[in-house]
Amino acid sequence: MNATRIARQRLQKDEQMATVMKLTGITQDEYNMVFVESACRFMDELYPIGSTFEKYRKIYFADPNFWAWFTTEWNAFENGFLLMVRTTDIKPTHEFWSSQMMNTIAHDASFENNFHKNYIKILSHKP
């Protein structure tokens, strides 16, 4: 991935975050908390705490490639959320946004499939 593409992705992420913060009235800390909580809920669905697979949570959470993958997917879902807000009469409150992001990411089959297809098979093996 070239530097220009990475810079564009970071700019898009920053613009989306600013838009969500403005629409919902949340702080950057609250935004970041929902981001991390969404990743935790996603992992809860795949590798429940107390299960024999719990060790994978620690491995993936420590992997920068996991967070790069998760951020990319988060941006896509958040973009979908913002599109929904622009095309409906829904008032994007903090509670509505955080619920949509956390629950959709934790339970969406395409998100999980992308995790297995793109992160597990490709990114988790990169040095």
- pLDDT of residue 127 exceeding 60, the answer is no
The pLDDT score that the predictor gives to residue 7 is 83
| Torsion of Cα atoms, 66 then 63 then 54 then 35, to 10° | -50
Cα distances from 28 to residues 1, 6, 21, 81, 105, in angstroms, run 27, 21, 7, 18, 20
Phi, psi of 88 (to 5 degrees): -135, 180
Nearest to 75 by CA among 23, 3, 1, 19: 19
**Each residue of 16-28: pLDDT tens digit?**
999 999 999 999 9
**Each residue of 29-86: pLDDT tens digit?**
999 999 999 999 999 998 998 999 888 888 899 999 899 889 989 999 999 999 999 9
Single pTM value for the model: 0.85
Question: What is the radius of gyration, based on Cα positions, of the chain?
Answer: 15
Q: How far apart are CA 54 and CA 65, in angstroms?
A: 19
Cα distances from 78 to residues 22, 84, 93, 120, in angstroms, run 14, 10, 14, 22
